[in-house]
Chains A and B, each alone.
Chain A
Amino acid sequence: MDNGLERLVFAFFNAEIAAAWAPKILEGMWVTILVSLAVVATGLALGLALAALRAYRIGPVDVAIVAFVDILRALPPLVVIIILFFAFPYLDLPMSAFTATWLSLSLVLAAFAEEIWWAGILAVPRGQWEAARSTGLGFGATLGYVVLPQAVRMTVPPLVNRVIAVTKGTALGSVVALSEIVSQASSAASLAGNPTPLTLGAAAYLAIFVPVVVLGRWLETRFAWKR
């Protein structure tokens, strides 16, 4: 038993190996944070733009947006990444691992965000539209200053959950050799012949995402749907 515990500590919590490979993991952490922030920024912006566009109710545009959202909700994110990374070069559109991961996850987040925000826009009472329009605001101004602020506020909890889920997907970038936490940790583990770097990688993820999950729980109660 004592032997077993020693073996466990030697394998997963090896201080010497941890010290040697920590810089690599930190490098990966930086890449993960960078991709995550980029994905959140572009994904949410694109999602908001699409939801606002849908409020104009232009037939063909609506159909296109719904098709886009349906496809990206149905496809596994890893499949989207692999198509962008492995299939687009055949069109002479080669992408770096960073671009492919960022673009794929942004599109996926945009699809979910559009859906959530559109639900929020629909949930704003009609009277709000009518009152704003009758005070002389144009359609765009009503949408931008009256409806969207309320819609965005209402949809914070589901949106937070989705943002967390999609940013966790940055780990999928390791499949196309993006040098984020997972690929740094697993290559370090095989080079060192010891899984301690994997423990470091896991710790790095917890360091990034536990605060985000806790913040999410707080935001959820702060902006909970009032019925």
Chain B
Amino acid sequence: MAEILDTFFNIEILLRVLPFILEGLGMTLLLCAITVPIGLAGGLAVAWVWSLKKRYVNWALVVYVDFFRAFPPLVLLIFVYFGLPFVGVDLSPFAAVAIAFLLNASSYYGEIFRAGIESVPHGQWEAARASGLSRFQTMRYVVLPQATRNVLPDLIGNTLEVVKLTTIASVVALGELLHAARLAQSLVYNPTPIVAAALIYLALLWPAVRLLRHFEHRHLVAR
């Protein structure tokens, strides 16, 4: 037991690499603070355009959404980061991650917002329009607030996935939490940094998992 602790949770090593790991955590938080809002904004835009019900535009949107849902995000990131320099577009790892996440997350968030907008009864639209609100105002003040509430569990669930996905930024050598932990592990030749990173992810995301469980339970009870 003591030996296992010594290998996987070596306090001495942990203290030595902690500043490094915390720096990685900072980068992970920064990544989340950027990728989640751009994903949400992209998704809202997709759902908004979809709600205009222009037939050909909507076909294009289905293709866009299905394309990026079928495409593993890691492949997308590698394509953006390692592929684009060949045509003279040099991107920083950070910019590459932002572009890949915009494309990937906006298609998932777009689907969720679309389902939410569909779940708002049509009478809400008609009543809002009849009371003199413009299309934009109807969407902004009447439909979207209700739509967002209806799909809140899915939005939280997808946000959890996006945060977990930021780990793939380690592949393009962006110094986020996982990247820092792996680097530290190879320097000290001990898995403690990886275990520490896993515990940090757990502490960060476990509340979200609990919250989702609560929503799912409520959904079942409501049926």
Contact = CB atoms under 8 A, between A and B. Distances in A.
A91 B202 CA distance: 22
A-B pairs with the 7 shortest C-beta distances? Answer: A87-B191, A209-B70, A76-B164, A171-B72, A74-B205, A195-B83, A11-B86
Given A74-B206, A182-B78, A79 B66 contact: no
Interface of A: 4, 7-8, 11-12, 70-71, 73-79, 82-83, 86-87, 90-91, 115, 119, 122-123, 164-165, 168-172, 174-175, 181-182, 185-186, 189, 194-195, 198-199, 201-202, 205-206, 209-210, 212-214, 217
Interface stretch (B44-52, B95-103, B208-216): B208-216
Contacts of A11: 83, 86-87
B197 A87 contact: no
Nearest to A125: B223
21 contacts: A4-B87, A7-B87, A8-B87, A12-B83, A71-B202, A74-B201, A74-B202, A75-B205, A77-B164, A79-B178, A87-B195, A115-B216, A181-B75, A182-B74, A186-B82, A189-B83, A195-B83, A195-B86, A198-B79, A205-B70, A214-B66
Contacts of A169: 72
Interface string B151-163: 0000000001100
Interface residues of B, number: 49
Contacts of B210: 70
Interface of B: 4, 7-8, 66-67, 69-75, 78-79, 82-83, 86-88, 160-161, 164-168, 170-171, 178, 182, 185, 190-191, 194-195, 197-198, 201-202, 205-206, 208-210, 212-213, 216, 220, 223
